[in-house]
C-alpha cells in the first residue's frame, strides 16, 4: 500500500527536493516518521531561521526549497521570512502540521484556525486539502506553482492524521507530470522592442534581482555593450545582476522618486529588466521620470507589470528576452559611457575601523568568486561602491526591508554553493534577529564566515532619523552584546578584533578553516 506520506516523498524526489528545512512540532512528527535515508533534515532553532535558510538555498539553486513548520505558532514565527520570499520571488513550498481532522472543529490545542488565511497575502497560494486523499494533488500543485513565473512561496496546512492514509491509485499519475512555462517574445514583438532601443539617442538600463535569478547577467552585459548604455541597479536590490567592475556600471539607484528622476536625467529611454518600477523607500516626491524619457519594463511578474505607474511592460522569461535583444539590437554608434569614479581605498591603521576599511580588506582577501550575504544595512551604499562582484549569484540581501534574513540565508546559500565561499556581513543590530542560525552552521559544518560589524547602534535607523528629522528617538543603541561568547556557545569559533591587521589575520584564518567562523569587528560610528 502506498500511503499519502510515501507518495509525498516520491513527489519531492521527482522534483529533486531531498533537503528539508524546518523546526518541527508534534503535528509534524507523523510526516517525519521513518525519515527516508536519501533525504536530509536541516534543523533550525527558530522558524524564522528555517525559512531564511530555505530562502537562501532556493535563491542560490534556482529551484524550489521545502520548509516544514509547526501549525499556526510556527507559521507566525516565520512570517518575516514569508515577506522576504514573496518580495524576492523565491520558490518555496512551506508546510505546516494541522491538528487531526476529528478535533479541528472543537479547536483543540494546536489547531491552525483558518489556516489558509494566516500566511496571506505573502503567498501565491494557500491550501488545506479537504480530505486526506487530496494531499498529493495539493502537494503537486504547490511544487509546480511555486516555480512558475513569477516564482514565490506557497503554503499547505496538512492534518497530521492524513499521512498514514492510503493514496488513491490514480494519484500516482502525479509522479510523471511536467509543467513548464514558455516566455520568449515572438518575432514581431522582438523586432519592435529592438527597434525602439535602436532609435533611442541616449538609452539607460536599470537591472533588478530577477536578472540574476535567471542567470541572465551575461546577456545584460552584451546588451549594454551593444547599446553603449550605462547600467544602474534598481533601488533596494537584493541581488547583483551586473558586474560592478564593468565600465558601463553606474551603481545603485536611490530609492526615492525625485532622486531616481535626477539620476536618470538626460536619457530618453529607460529599459528596466527584472525589477519593479520602482521600489521606492523614503518619501521624496518628484516626477516619475525625467522630462522626455519613456520607459520599457521586462518582468517575469504580471503584478509588477500591471501595477507600474508609468511606461510599457513586457511579461516573459527575462533570460530569453535579454538574450534575444542582445542578438537583435544594432551595435550602436553612440559614444562609450564614461566609467564611474571608484572610491579611494580606506586608510589603514585606524582604530576603531571604518566600515569601508573592513569592506576593502574583505574585497582584497576573499576569493574572487566569493558570495556575500549582507545585513549590515548602514553600509549598503559603500558595498555597492567598493565590492568587486563579477559572477552571477555573488550578492544577496533581504528583499522585504526587515531583519533576520542574512544569517540563516548565508547557511542556505553555502549549502547550495559548496564550491564558493559565503561571507555574511551582519550589523550588530541585525544579528540578534536570527543568531540561532550559528548553531545549524556548526552542527552541519557549513563553512560560512560571519563578520559582525559592531558599532553599538542601529546605524540605518540613525541615518533615517536624520532624513525624517526625527529627534530624541529612544532605543537606537544596542551596546554590550558579546557576539564572541554567543557564537562560542553555539559551537562556532569566534574572535573579536579592532585593528585592520587583526581583522586581516582573522579573516584569512576563517577563509581556510573549512568550518563556520565568526569575527566581531569593532567599527566606528558614524561611518566615514
Domains of the chain in sequence order: 4-176 (3.40.50.970), 187-328 (3.40.50.1220), 355-522 (3.40.50.970)
Cα–Cα dist 88/82, whole Å: 10
Cα–Cα dist 3/312, whole Å: 50
**List of E strands, 189-252:** 203-207, 231-233, 249-252
46 among known catalytic residues: no
Q: Which of 26, 33, 292, 489 is catalytic?
A: 26
Cβ-proximal residues to 173 (8 Å cutoff; 6+ apart), any chain: none
Ramachandran region, residue 228 (left: φ > 0; alpha: ψ -120 to 50; beta: rest): left
What's residue 62's pLDDT?
97
Give ∠ CA 149-150-151 in degrees, rounded to 5. 90
Q: Which of 22, 46, 48, 70 is catalytic?
A: 70
Phi and psi at residue 125, to the nearest 5°: -160, 145
Alpha helices per DSSP H over 251-317: 257-263, 302-307
Cα–Cα dist 14/176, whole Å: 8
Cβ-proximal residues to 504 (8 Å cutoff; 6+ apart), any chain: 361, 365
What's residue 367's pLDDT?
98
Cβ atoms of residues 159 and 98 within 8 Å: yes
Q: Which of 15, 246, 281, 444 is catalytic?
A: 281
Beta strands 269-273 and 203-207 are parallel
Cβ-proximal residues to 94 (8 Å cutoff; 6+ apart), any chain: 51, 67, 69, 75, 78, 82, 119, 123, 153, 154, 155, 156
The label of the residue with cell 559548496 reads 418
Report which of 383, 370, 378 is spatially closest to residue 466, judged by C-alpha positions. Answer: 378
DSSP per-residue letters across 20-83: EEE---GGGHHHHTT--TT-EEEE-SSHHHHHHHHHHHHHHHTS-EEEEE-HHHHHHHTHHHHH
Characterize 188-210 residue by residue with b for buried, 16 or more Cβ atoms within 10 angstroms of its Cβ, and e for exposed. eebeebbebbeebeebbbbbbbb
25 among known catalytic residues: yes
Cα–Cα dist 69/97, whole Å: 7
141 among known catalytic residues: no
Report which of 415, 413, 392, 406 is spatially closest to residue 452, judged by C-alpha positions. Answer: 406
Cβ atoms of residues 222 and 195 within 8 Å: no
281 among known catalytic residues: yes
Which H or E run includes 373?
Answer: strand 371-375
Cα–Cα dist 281/455, whole Å: 24
**pTM above the 0.75 mark?**
yes
SS3 content of the chain, % helix, strand, coil (to 5): 40, 20, 45
Q: Which of 25, 80, 97, 316 is catalytic?
A: 25
401 among known catalytic residues: yes
**Packing angle between helix 217-227 and helix 318-328, nearest 10 degrees?**
30
What's residue 523's pLDDT?
86
Cα–Cα dist 323/124, whole Å: 28
Cα–Cα dist 48/240, whole Å: 24
Dihedral (CA of 117, 118, 122, 125) sign: negative
48 among known catalytic residues: no
- Would you tell me how many other CB atoms lie within 10 Å of the CB of residue 483? 23
Mean pLDDT, consecutive 10-residue stretches, the chain (528 aa), reads: 96 98 94 96 98 98 97 96 97 96 90 94 97 97 98 97 96 95 94 96 97 98 97 96 97 94 96 96 90 97 96 97 97 86 82 90 97 94 95 97 95 98 95 96 98 77 62 70 96 96 97 98 75
Phi and psi at residue 518, to the nearest 5°: -130, 135
What's residue 475's pLDDT?
58
Cα–Cα dist 92/115, whole Å: 17
343-351 long-range CB contacts below 8 Å, 24 or more apart?
343/382, 343/385, 343/386, 346/528, 348/500, 349/499, 349/500, 350/500, 351/498, 351/499, 351/522
What's residue 470's pLDDT?
67
- Would you tell me how many other CB atoms lie within 10 Å of the CB of residue 236? 24
Q: Which of 266, 286, 292, 401 is catalytic?
A: 401
Length of the chain: 528
Amino acid at each position: 500500500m502506498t500511503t499519502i506520506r510515501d507518495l509525498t516523498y516520491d513527489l519531492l524526489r521527482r522534483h529533486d527536493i531531498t533537503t528539508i528545512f524546518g523546526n518541527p512540532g508534534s503535528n509534524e512528527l507523523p510526516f517525519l516518521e521513518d525519515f527516508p535515508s536519501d533525504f536530509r533534515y536541516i534543523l533550525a532553532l527558530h522558524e524564522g531561521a528555517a525559512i531564511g535558510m530555505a530562502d537562501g538555498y532556493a535563491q542560490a539553486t534556482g529551484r524550489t526549497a521545502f520548509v516544514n513548520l509547526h501549525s499556526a505558532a510556527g507559521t507566525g514565527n516565520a512570517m518575516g521570512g514569508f515577506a522576504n520570499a514573496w518580495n524576492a520571488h523565491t520558490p518555496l513550498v512551506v508546510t505546516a502540521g494541522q491538528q487531526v481532522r476529528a478535533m479541528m472543529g472543537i479547536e483543540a490545542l494546536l489547531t491552525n484556525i483558518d489556516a489558509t488565511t494566516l500566511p496571506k497575502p505573502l503567498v501565491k497560494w494557500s491550501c488545506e486539502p479537504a480530505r486526506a486523499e487530496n494531499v498529493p494533488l495539493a502537494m503537486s500543485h504547490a511544487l509546480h506553482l511555486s516555480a512558475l513565473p513569477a516564482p514565490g512561496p506557497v503554503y499547505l496546512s496538512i492534518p497530521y492524521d492524513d499521512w498514514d492514509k492510503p493514496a488513491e491509485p490514480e494519484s500516482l499519475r502525479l509522479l510523471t507530470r511536467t509543467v513548464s512555462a514558455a516566455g520568449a517574445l515572438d518575432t514581431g514583438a522582438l523586432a519592435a522592442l529592438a527597434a525602439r532601443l535602436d532609435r533611442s539617442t541616449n538609452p539607460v538600463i536599470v537591472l533588478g534581482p530577477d536578472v540574476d535569478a535567471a542567470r541572465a547577467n551575461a546577456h545584460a552585459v552584451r546588451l549594454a555593450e551593444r547599446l553603449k548604455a550605462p547600467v544602474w541597479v534598481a533601488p533596494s536590490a537584493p541581488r547583483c545582476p551586473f558586474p560592478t567592475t564593468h565600465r558601463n556600471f553606474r551603481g545603485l539607484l536611490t530609492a526615492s522618486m525625485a532622486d531616481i528622476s535626477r539620476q536618470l536625467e538626460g536619457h530618453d529611454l529607460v529599459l528596466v529588466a527584472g525589477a519593479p518600477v520602482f521600489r521606492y523607500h523614503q518619501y521624496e516626491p518628484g516626477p516619475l521620470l525625467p522630462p522626455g524619457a519613456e520607459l520599457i519594463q521586462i518582468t517575469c511578474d504580471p503584478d509588477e507589470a500591471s501595477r507600474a505607474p508609468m511606461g510599457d511592460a513586457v511579461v516573459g522569461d527575462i533570460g530569453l528576452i535579454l538574450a534575444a535583444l542582445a542578438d537583435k539590437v544594432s551595435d550602436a554608434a553612440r559614444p562609450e559611457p564614461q566609467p564611474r569614479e571608484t572610491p579611494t581605498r580606506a586608510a589603514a591603521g585606524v582604530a576603531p575601523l571604518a566600515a569601508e576599511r573592513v569592506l576593502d580588506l574583505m574585497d582584497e582577501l576573499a576569493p574572487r568568486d566569493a558570495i556575500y550575504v549582507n545585513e549590515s544595512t548602514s553600509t549598503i551604499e559603500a558595498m555597492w561602491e567598493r565590492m568587486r562582484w563579477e559572477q552571477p549569484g555573488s550578492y544577496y540581501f533581504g528583499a522585504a526591508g526587515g531583519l533576520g534574513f542574512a544569517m540563516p540565508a548565508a547557511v542556505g546559500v553555502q549549502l547550495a554553493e559548496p564550491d564558493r565561499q559565503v561571507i555574511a556581513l551582519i550589523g550588530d543590530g541585525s544579528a540578534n534577529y536570527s543568531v540561532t542560525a550559528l548553531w545549524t552552521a556548526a552542527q552541519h559544518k557549513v563553512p560560512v564566515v560571519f563578520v559582525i560589524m559592531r558599532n553599538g547602534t542601529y546605524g540605518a535607523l540613525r541615518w533615517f532619523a536624520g532624513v525624517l528629522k526625527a529627534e530624541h528617538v529612544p532605543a537606537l543603541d544596542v551596546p554590550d552584546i558579546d557576539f564572541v561568547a554567543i557564537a562560542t556557545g553555539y559551537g562556532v569559533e569566534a574572535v573579536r578584533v579592532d585593528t585592520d591587521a587583526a581583522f586581516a589575520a582573522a579573516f584569512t584564518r576563517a577563509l581556510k578553516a573549512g568550518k563556520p567562523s565568526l569575527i566581531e569587528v569593532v567599527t566606528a560610528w558614524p561611518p566615514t
